[in-house]
Structure 1
């Protein structure tokens, strides 16, 4: 697999792009909190605006990606994010980088990230054989873990030690480097008309074009029906929705709790967040072995419970001592390890059960259902922080993440064994 030049180019580009994304995810909120003195409600709005494209665009993007070359989608998304962040950096140098500019930047970067993320998940299936999907996912998720190590630390340090424009410019540079790597992929991609769409066209040869529903909406419905019709994929959606909604609320409070309740500097905040990366790297390595040894269902439920439960220890911390920072690092390490183990295992389950022509739409549908509520979660986190205070709000939102392993334990996912079932075929 590593001998394949195109896979290496995808891996390098995805790694650098994820580094830019994780840097930006820290830079924009910290700019609002530390530079613009944004309150809990304003931070909730900023995070919600950046997450809104997941709800608004995921299904459309999934339908489009299945009809486009994934290389083209990723290259355009990288170029767009580099330009937008470059413009934000220029605005900052001119003294015009206020909260409205951050809101616009967050929305556009979030929208283009939806395109990139759906496309790179579909691209792996088109580049490697099915029996190499687990290894390929482990490599790509491992690179994302490495980005999680450096991204938050880089973003926190740049905002704290230098300036917000330089922090934004660093993200633009990383997206530009990803653009240069992915555009060198040379392997052609065959984008075939799905059997359902083709059979419907053949059954209705005389139907006037004006009476047909637009093709993109028909393809979106096919993706929704496929995911809803598979009990395992449906459970993935529900568990993901519960987790992502609670995580969005938790992280909104968490980003305020660290600097204002524990009085940590931007660099210390970045260090605490970056500790998720080494854990995620370990989780990617474990994902290549544990499901085949203990069973996919056991791994999913137990890893989700351990990883999500780690955040319950954070509200008990006080002060900005070295012990507090080390405790936060430990929490992030555990969360990253078991969270990534769940991510890679779920991705393998989804890819194994989904036909090639449905990969983009299945990924987008799960993203839409799973992460579509994150804007509301971010708003809820900001509201609770204002009404209940940071410490109580963090305890409540962190406890909400445990709904995810509970839902998986009550679903067919918990019964998945050491080998995954054969993928379900599309029928005309």
Structure 2
């Protein structure tokens, strides 16, 4: 797949037509994979440390997850306005360095016996805040590197990298917490972020950024422009609402899920990590399918059907009973199918968003959708903890899993469901100065 077959770098060197012949792309791929591997490992390490080592209750686990997700609500819009004016490479490099330092400090504190719940909350917030910067920059970077008609395949390739990280990250985090210790697991995640920092930092080609005006508008004006653009576009508005419904209930599901597996099903940290890691192979398959199915069946049909099938898998989880020889294979199947269809939705939605968004608005559009779509996740995590305490894990899982189906319902009732085999035409107006 060509990386940018007719592009020319800022230094005047032509960009290689082959994806893997481009040394800078290889460095980006290595960095992207290592960063995502570290992130997915840390998403398992911190909650498992709280549950297995600090004996955190359902409410405390919900609070920990909410604190880690709060930066999405607090920072996304500002980050989008900021990223549109800077090189995404710089943002990703600084973010990886910050996350490596935060988790490294957590590892040292844990080895010294000082990693209690308050310190864990600080680390979760720091890693979550830096992840907001990385994720917005990551979503804006591809549009600056490939042609619009290559976005689906480009997203498929990069999301495949993230899928590989999901395969190893969750399993690695769970295994290290179970076999060694939480501080060692945190140190491993820090090392992966350091590897990403070193790899992306070695990229030589200067990335082009949208032209800046001599007197750039204030940050609030740029944020308002992003909000107005997303709200005014039917497809993006639907993506926001459907994403908000999914992320809210999914956050609640995962909070209960991380209690249900070790306490109700009596699974070890290794088994929990293995079950969560099954989303990785599924997501890899979903990335491959995303490069083909929308062109064959239509973007709208793929979005609605994939969301319904993927989200519906969690309805089977509360019914699981018995020994690990029965429950673990069932959980692997559930997470594999969920990973496949949720990744198919992610890649397809990203292609739609990138296509209908002007070049100079990419960061703000991504941040606005992140803000609206994921801004409710802290509340979802808190809700999951409260429901688990009041109703028990099985009933709470069933209720919150059913709530996830609101997302495909919203898409099915919107014009997004009627998208055909080709994406909407890109905007004809010139990109705004930032």
The TM-score bracket by the shorter chain reads: over 0.9
Q: Which residue of 2 aligns with 1:396?
A: 399
Q: Which residue of 2 aligns with 1:316?
A: 319
Q: Which residue of 2 aligns with 1:72?
A: 90
5 Å matches for 1:87-166? 87-166=105-184
Q: Which residue of 1 aligns with 2:59?
A: 41
5 Å matches for 1:14-33? 14-33=32-51
CA distance in 2, matches of 1:53, 1:217: 18
* SS of equivalent residue, structure 1 residue 420: coil
CA-CA distance at 1:426 after TM superposition = 4.4
CA-CA distance at 1:192 after TM superposition = 2.9
CA distance in 2, matches of 1:325, 1:242: 28
5 Å matches for 1:29-428? 29-193=47-211, 215-426=218-429
Aligned pair count reads 413
- Tell me how large the CA RMSD over aligned residues is: 1.3
* SS of equivalent residue, structure 1 residue 418: coil
CA-CA distance at 1:89 after TM superposition = 0.3
Q: Which residue of 2 aligns with 1:204?
A: none
CA distance in 1, matches of 2:343, 2:236: 18
Q: Tell me if the contact between 1:27 and 1:167 (Cα under 8 Å) persists in the aligned partners.
A: yes
Q: Does residue 7 of structure 1 match 2:25?
A: yes
CA-CA distance at 1:9 after TM superposition = 1.8
CA distance in 2, matches of 1:78, 1:403: 35
User: What is the TM-score of this pair, normalised by structure 2?
Assistant: 0.93
Q: Which residue of 1 aligns with 2:12?
A: none
CA distance in 1, matches of 2:191, 2:324: 34
Q: Kindly tell me: are residues 162 and 97 of structure 1, through their superposed partners in 2, closer, same or farther at Cα, counting changes over 3 Å?
A: same
* Unmatched segments (≥5 aa) in structure 1: 202-212
Q: Tell me if the contact between 1:264 and 1:320 (Cα under 8 Å) persists in the aligned partners.
A: no
* SS of equivalent residue, structure 2 residue 189: helix
Q: Kindly tell me: are residues 81 and 181 of structure 1, through their superposed partners in 2, closer, same or farther at Cα, counting changes over 3 Å?
A: same
CA-CA distance at 1:114 after TM superposition = 0.4
Q: Tell me if the contact between 1:307 and 1:339 (Cα under 8 Å) persists in the aligned partners.
A: yes
Q: Which residue of 2 aligns with 1:206?
A: none
User: What is the TM-score of this pair, normalised by structure 1?
Assistant: 0.94
Q: Tell me if the contact between 1:248 and 1:381 (Cα under 8 Å) persists in the aligned partners.
A: yes
CA-CA distance at 1:193 after TM superposition = 4.0
Q: Which residue of 1 aligns with 2:7?
A: none
* Unmatched segments (≥5 aa) in structure 2: 4-18
CA-CA distance at 1:365 after TM superposition = 0.5
Q: Kindly tell me: are residues 356 and 214 of structure 1, through their superposed partners in 2, closer, same or farther at Cα, counting changes over 3 Å?
A: closer
